[in-house]
Amino acid sequence: MGRGRIRFPDISPRAYEHPADRGALVALRAIPGFDAVLKALSGAIGERSIRLLYLATSIRVSPRQYPELHRLIEECATTLDVQPIPELYIEQSPVPNAMTIGLDKPIIVISTGMLQLLDEEGLRFTIGHEMGHVLSGHAVYRTMLLQLIGIAQSIQWMPIGVWGLRAIIVALNEWYRKSELSCDRAGLLCVQDPAATLRVHASLAGALNPDEMDVAGFLDQARDYQSSGDVRDSVLKLLQVWGQTHPMAALRAAELQKWAAGTEYQDILAGNYPRRSGDKDAPFSEDVKAAAASYQESFKTSSDPLFKVVGKVGGVMGGVGGLAANRVRDWWQAGRNEPPSAEDANES
């Protein structure tokens, strides 16, 4: 493992998943038509098509090709106890990016721009982040998002039908931004160095030499962004994230550093974390209640004026989330043969 990093045998993704991630996914599955679209796309895409594409257009990491990256992905898989180890591909692109896609056997793709931007510990964090997506089962939804974006772009001329796709795309983007917060935590569990994660976020924001930057100043940017302005600025912030799949770099950095300084991270390092072997009996409704509490806490503590205006709806949304959670929990514990319908999820 190197440097005496701690391993987390049998760790459940519940250990690191952000409560907003789980809450957004429950809300996503309640969208009318979502499950039908998911089933249709799953049958149309095919696992082999995705793998063949990257075999033909990218570099597959192995002991002979990018051996250092091969070592990193093996170490991250060992840290989070992920088996089998997903294939890692390097694609030619100047844009720093990494993603996990696929259905039953997800693959990880990292761009050459990301390789050139980060040092070894930064790459360990990035690969660990993507390993978090694998462990949490996010790849299928990410694949669905990419396919839907392509479909929507090809049928923009159609006045009917495309709006339903766009609604699902917007909801998927909202969930995916939340899932990135979860997997940043998984990346931290792999690198086990909060400073290394901060350098990655700073680099993604534009720091050419993050070791020489004012770390406190970078985190101050997130606080200033969240606290400054009036309701007009709040609306502008909503427009800025429209269509974005990733949270803004400074906000991601602040969120992860807050978690790194808290008790949850320290408990996991000490070996106190939920196990996958206990996932079947986990109280799923409690997870979603935690998500509702997280949203409500955000409303209470945020200095954003728009949050203050709508903060009173937190309790109502929490109640609705609890009802949907009960339906999802029943489906989960029954064996997940058929997902709950939108009507079931919304039934009161």
CA distance 157 to 248: 31
Q: pLDDT class for 347, splitting at 50, 70, 90?
A: very low
Q: What is the pLDDT of residue 200?
A: 94
**pTM of the complete model:** 0.74
Q: Pull the structure tokens for residue 316.
A: 């109502």
CA distance 26 to 13: 16
Q: What is the pLDDT of residue 104?
A: 79
Residues recognised as catalytic = 130
Nearest to 12 by CA among 203, 257, 272: 272
CA distance 281 to 189: 24
Radius of gyration of the chain (CA): 20
Counting Cβ atoms within 10 Å, is residue 254 exposed (0-12), middle (13-18) or buried (19+)? buried
Tens-place pLDDT, residues 165-197? 666 676 677 777 888 999 999 999 999 999 999
Q: What is the pLDDT of residue 329?
A: 44
Task: For the chain, give the secondary structure using H, E and C.
Answer: CCCCCCCCCCECHHHCCCHHHHHHHHHHHCCCCHHHHHHHHHHHHCHHHHHHHHHHHCEECCCCCCHHHHHHHHHHHHHHCCCCCCCEEEECCCCCCEEEECCCCCEEEEEHHHHHHCCHHHHHHHHHHHHHHHHHCCHHHHHHHHHHHHHHHHCCCCCCCHHHHHHHHHHHHHHHHHHHHHHHHHHHHHHCCHHHHHHHHHHHHCCCCHHHCCHHHHHHHHHHHHHCCCHHHHHHHHHHCCCCCCCCHHHHHHHHHHHHCCHHHHHHHCCCCCEHHHHHHCCHHHHHHHHHHHHHHHHHHCCCHHHHHHHHHHHHHHHHHHHHHHHHHHHHHCCCCCCCCHHHHHCC
Q: pLDDT class for 310, splitting at 50, 70, 90?
A: very low
Average pLDDT over the chain, rounded to an integer: 76
Q: Is the pLDDT of residue 161 over 60?
A: no
Task: For 28-50, give the secondary structure using H, E and C.
Answer: HHCCCCHHHHHHHHHHHHCHHHH
Q: pLDDT class for 332, splitting at 50, 70, 90?
A: very low
Tens-place pLDDT, residues 248-260? 788 899 999 999 9
Q: Pull the structure tokens for residue 68.
A: 């250092």
Q: What is the pLDDT of residue 279?
A: 82
Q: Where are the domains of the chain?
A: 13-282
Q: What is the pLDDT of residue 80?
A: 98
Q: Helix 120-136 and helix 162-191: axis angle, to 10°?
A: 130
Per-residue pLDDT, averaged over 268-272, amounts to 97
Print burial letters for 26-63: b (CB count within 10 Å at least 16), e (below 16): bbbbbbeebbebbeebbeebeeeebbeebeeebbbbee
The Cα-based distances of 338 to 236, 330, 333 in angstroms read: 40, 11, 11
Q: Cβ atoms within 10 A of the Cβ of 73, count?
A: 24
